[in-house]
Structure 1
Amino acid sequence: MQAIGYFSASARRNGQKRSIGEQNRAFLEFCQRSGFDIAATFVDPDDSASSGFQQLLDFLARPGRTFTVVVIDGLSALGPDLGAAALRLLELEGVGATVVLSSNGADAFKSLVDTWAERGEGTPVSERVRSAMRRKAVRGEVLGRPPYGYRVGPRRKLELVPEEAVVVRYIFRLYLAENLGIRKIAGRLNAENIPTRRGGRWSMVTVRDILRNRAYLGHYSRFGTTVTGSHPALVSPDDFRRVQDRLQSRHAPARSRTVTPFLLSGLAFCARCGNKMIGVSRRQSWLTRSGETRRATYRYYQCESRTNQSACGYNTRRAAELEAQVREALASDDHPAPRIRRAGNIDSYALELHAQAERIESRIKRNRRQVEELVADAAHGHISIERLKAIGAELAEEHRQLQAELAAARDRIRAHETEAERQRHLEQQRERLLREWDALPFDELQTAVREVIDRIEVDGEEIRVYRRA
């Protein structure tokens, strides 16, 4: 059997920093003591470096690898805290490696869970908060914003808001007794000047959410706990069941559809009214003279004002035709001067890139919290270590993908830091688009199009493509 040593400048034992040399000696002693052959060693000599760990992952992912264990000096070699160590252990587990400690050959995963239990590390505050919230939910106490029709009473229980309760019953009656659809119910409420809780207009989403909310049965559900009869009901069980059956029967076909996104979404605008051109799909079927059934799907961009407000003219273009015309415009040097949208003195696209990076960082933090909660559950005996590994594998893969997305976003930010780099990057992207348009996966193609194009104005058969500058 073979062993791989991984040494890191962040490694510590009993609170004392461990040098790379000390870690290497401990690794050699482990191999001699356990009868392992040395396959390779990888080093991250700086606390902030991770290139050695990535090289280790690449080495382990090679085809034809024999059984190998990864030997570390301690959990701290994998990161500054147990949460970071958990993520890296899951990444190593994902490529089929077993990780052990050089001091005693103990399984690193078990050591992680045991250490977590001893120290209470990870997210102890959130664990306490979640436990307290579960206890409140069991008592039927309200957590968060109450549903429309109710308010939070003095004992933290839901109680009726009479004027809103009337509207809830009215919505259920319109749906069941008058057989109105969700869109027509929203229209009826708006026509009768019945405001939402915030004084706004009703939409299909708000009506649908009310029709689906089990709180109107008098049940309160949070954190997997349901308390029946915790507050006054607004709908009978029989009526609620009939509503759910009808909703499900109406939406079953829609759930089976595959939604295909549109390449120019968010970029194409109507030159006549300035509103967006939105992607619309239409499916048609017909019988030929021979009795054969034919089906076809038509995809096109249409002015949003026309689609949703019956305003503006019939400004519509077939999707394939418009996208091909945009491609031709990118290949031509005869194009309108770049149209630059700015917020203050800062390019709005640069702001968009920074916002994108921030969103990815937020998702990485959420992913990290989920891993920590898993380890905490294992430390408290709620799940087994094997279950931790199984669930954590997906989170580790998501973490890897998010890190790649963040690196790509930061690369794009760096490419726009100076005017010269920006221009060079945009021209490279334009050339790549023209060269690989048909070969690029949709997501990459759309990202590249958004980088190069600022806005497309459509006026019938005529278009104007504004490139970023």
Structure 2
Amino acid sequence: MRAIGYLSQPHDRLTRYDQDGESTAVGRLDSLPSLVEQNAEFLKYCQRHGYEPTATFLDADTSPGRERSGLIQLLRHLSEEARGFTFVVIQSFANLGHDATQAVRTVLQLRARGVQLISLTDGPIDEASLIDLWRLHSDPDTDSERRRARLQERARLGQAIGRPPYGYRVGGDGRYEVDEEEAAVVRRIFGLCLHDGLGIRRIAQRLNQDGYQTRRGRNWSMVSIRDLLRNPVYVGRYDKLGVSVPHNHEAIVSEPDFETVARQMAERRTATGVSHPSDFLLAGLVWCGEDQTRMIGVTRRQNWRKASGETAAATYRYYQSEARTNQSVGGYHTRRADELEAEVLAHIRGERQGGEIAVLNIGKDDTALAAETAVALASGEARLRAIDRKLAQLLEDAAAGDPPPSMLHEAGAEIIAEWESASADLASIKGRAQAQDREADRRRRRDQRLQRVREDWESLNFPQQRDLIEHLVDRVIVFDNSVTTQLKA
């Protein structure tokens, strides 16, 4: 499993903002390790748990008002790269924002990108523990360590904090007890992996075909199956806030079966010949026009025996609807990789109809543009503050039980999407002020790239070709009978 470290030097005090935007210092953070110490702890954690550290992102100055460029790069990296079986490791919840609401927003942004979040101080951070951490760090009492101690004492007693995992409910003594209806599905999932040898994609497909749904009434996905199969709660272990209690509650699967499944999953992840989405020229750029979902690169290898007795093999590469690949639902929309890539190249070269070139709209009056940008900038910043107030109100409501903390991720998804959209708009506005100065250079570079595609393509290696495509193509939309290539301005 891969691990990414996020290191930051927190501001000297974590701050709480109320609904009117007034701030209150919550407590000093002087005891948090330095960036060097955090990196050493991250590497030790990876070595101890057998994770492969693949990248580290850091922010040395996280004072209010400063842009967290390291966090922005991390979020962009997770959006663009394959992230299956990836953990993001941080020192503490406090490292994620200069106030508790901002830290929650960062958690929801990371979780929305399909990664698991682990705090070396607080333990795994999920929807169940998020409200408790928010309460802890929002407490204006400077002695908030007392609150942490109370929660950790509850964890040491094995009492549930937050939403129980699938297969369990909270019993009268505060501990997990087996929910037999859900537990039967858990045993079936482990059985499909252990006895039938199915991978997580096939397990999700089987459950969805048989009509099983998650607790929220949704289809099972590869991510939900993966998380369930590697959750030690099913062997009776309770992990919360950095506390681990073995044999805390009734197990649903045996430890030998759990360990065998873990080995099988590890072998599948390290098997040779597994395709990585970035091996495809158009990875991340192709969308299905029929069902409005992203299409991802898929490699299939097939072996068969000829009539003569000889063994033959073939490899098939194609782009397929992501919903079909990950959940085995939706239409079976595919395009052979070589054919689609050749068609997109023909569009770029102007050899075939289907390419659409976007035009950058740059104002000719520099003074008017500067004034317009200043107004838009102030409006964009006000919009972000308003969205953060909405998130703070949602957290207050969730802390009061409506919506329940278990639904926080779902309830906050719209707010996070709105914040990211507003943040992207604001970043675009900030960039607009420099757009005129960059326009001439941008056009020159674009013309050079187009010329390389038209004249030097065959002499380029794959990374060079991929770099050109990423800079030139905004989106490829695939319909059953046509392909549209939208070029960047």
Give the TM-score of the pair, scaled to structure 2. Answer: 0.43
Give the TM-score of the pair, scaled to structure 1. Answer: 0.45
